[in-house]
Amino acid sequence: MKHKKKQDSLSPAKILTFGFAIIIIIGTFLLSLGPASANGEKLDLINAFFMATSAVCVTGLVVVDPATQFSLFGELTLLILAQIGGLGFMTMGTMIALAFNRRISLRDRLVLQEAMKQNTLEGLVTLIRRVTLYSLVIESVGALLLAARWSFDMPLGQALYYGVFHSISFFNNAGFDLFGSVHGPYSGLSAYASDPFVNIVVIVLIILGGIGFIVMSDLLSYRVTRRLSLHSKVVLTVSGILIVVGALLIFVMEVFKSPDFQQLSLMDQVFASIFHSVSTRSGGVSTMSVADMQQSTQFLLLLLMFIGAAPGSTGGGIKVTVFAILIGAMYAMLRGKEDIVFFRKRLSKVSILRAITQTWLALFLVILTAMILSAIEDRTFLALLFETTSAFATSGLSLDITTKLTDLSKIILGLVMFLGRIGPLTLAYALTTPKSRKELYRYPEGDFIIG
């Protein structure tokens, strides 16, 4: 009886939190083994923890160069952790259960509902099947396209391996790359800044991973249904606006002052602007050194990372839907309207309060962490705020200071990545026991002066 009571106390939020934590612990152990290292020397536990957390939380921040530090076993471990982290361990577990004809219990469905950020249990298993199928198809196509391009630069076997690794990494918004062994440690995709084919393939992979599986399902069903859900309309509209506006601002701020940017042709400058605007969705990969960009550009990237990707996607941040609600609330207030309306649909007060709560929790976490790091590290506050935001938003863009941080700062950023992946609100639900009982009374309405 006690055992049953203990099981019942594990809410979906707690199961998600503990599940991700257990996978990170397993990943830390595997990456700290001698066979995982390229030179056979064990990676110390703190760096192994950071890399495992970065992989499971599909962040892409690194304290060691993956290509030169890890062996094939280590690289594959990193890749599997990123795949599990991107799709979600419950999604992977559900597909394994379905493969063995195991019945999906109500508890499993509730956890899946929390993981996929769904409002209903209806059609959840069907969505999971679609998510897995879409992911495999997109990753396979991406792998073949990248392998075909890189076969001109390296042996075919290596090109195929690189294609698979980077397609999975970029689609899951993990941001890991293996070009450190080809073009030098921490080089990223800098060698392909002028390659439109690689740019386009990577941009498409990041966008597809960042808009979320719900939106992808809607888009693929559009030919039959001839309709998109409100969620899909908002995600596609806001994501498109952020990418275009972000690219324009990056171009304007870099084109006149950045020496690296000025060395590129006009077309390459356009691609670089779009690439880095898209990468802030949570892609975590770059074709130019973010550390060498203007401070104004770095701050813009910071803001775009904080907004992040869509709910139910492989990306992080406060999410584009939350940002849309905040803008909608401001617009409604300035126009003297009581309701936030998108595409002729009024939003519920619960959605608005949830968005405000999530934003404040995220702001509090990022600012407090940056302040703590500034007390530990001898770095500029912008650099520390950038790394903290990148960790929370599971973006992976960096100002090249991650490898130089103290062990304590690495642990702190690892925890921030974990919080960013599961979401501050989910953690809050996991740590508390909210009462499902409806209150039988309401307090009288009060008012005070604002502004």
| Average confidence (pLDDT) over 288-304 | 93
CA distance 394 to 33: 25
Instruction: Count H helices and E strands in the chain, helices first.
Output: 21, 2
Q: What is the pLDDT of residues 138-189, one digit of tens each?
A: 999 999 999 999 999 999 999 999 999 999 999 988 889 999 888 888 888 9
Whether residue 53 is predicted with pLDDT greater than 60 in this model: the reply is yes
Nearest to 297 by CA among 173, 194, 446, 399: 399
Could you tell me the pLDDT band of residue 218, with boundaries at 50, 70 and 90? confident
CA distance 284 to 307: 14
On average, the pLDDT of the chain sits at 85
Helices 45-56/407-422 angle, 10° precision: 20
* H or E element that contains 342: strand 341-342
CA distance 65 to 195: 23
Q: What pLDDT, on a 0 to 100 scale, did the predictor assign at position 283?
A: 85
Q: What pLDDT, on a 0 to 100 scale, did the predictor assign at position 19?
A: 80
| Average confidence (pLDDT) over 248-254 | 94
Could you tell me the pLDDT band of residue 7, with boundaries at 50, 70 and 90? very low
| Average confidence (pLDDT) over 12-28 | 83
Angle at 16 between CA 11 and CA 17, to 5 degrees: 95
Name beta bridge partners: 341. Answer: 346
| Average confidence (pLDDT) over 119-144 | 77
DSSP state string for 182-234: HH-TT-TTGGGTT-HHHHHHHHHHHHHHHH-HHHHHHHHHHHHH----HHHHH
- Are 131 and 87 in contact, with CB atoms under 8 Å apart? yes
Q: What pLDDT, on a 0 to 100 scale, did the predictor assign at position 399?
A: 92
Q: What is the pLDDT of residues 54-91, one digit of tens each?
A: 999 989 899 999 999 999 999 999 999 998 888 765 55
Burial of 63 (0-12, 13-18, 19+ CB in 10 A): buried
Cα dist. 20→28, 233, 272, 420 in Å?
Answer: 12, 30, 34, 12
Q: What pLDDT, on a 0 to 100 scale, did the predictor assign at position 120?
A: 54
Nearest to 413 by CA among 19, 25, 46: 46
Q: Does residue 441 or residue 427 have the better pLDDT?
A: 441
- Are 62 and 403 in contact, with CB atoms under 8 Å apart? yes
Q: What is the pLDDT of residues 195-214, one digit of tens each?
A: 999 999 999 999 998 888 78
- Are 392 and 420 in contact, with CB atoms under 8 Å apart? yes
Q: What pLDDT, on a 0 to 100 scale, did the predictor assign at position 446?
A: 73
Query: Checking phi first, is residue 315 left (phi over 0); if not, alpha (psi -120 to 50) or beta?
Result: beta
Name beta bridge partners: 346. Answer: 341
Q: What pLDDT, on a 0 to 100 scale, did the predictor assign at position 303?
A: 95
CA distance 179 to 409: 26
Q: Quick count: other Cβ atoms within 10 Å of Cβ 3?
A: 7
Q: Does residue 338 or residue 242 have the better pLDDT?
A: 242
Is the pTM higher than 0.85? The answer reads yes
Can you say how many angstroms the Cα of residue 30 is from the centroid of all Cα atoms in its chain?
A: 23
Whether residue 20 is predicted with pLDDT greater than 70 in this model: the reply is yes
* H or E element that contains 341: strand 341-342
Residue ranges per structural domain of the chain = 10-430
- Are 120 and 83 in contact, with CB atoms under 8 Å apart? no
Name beta bridge partners: 345. Answer: 342
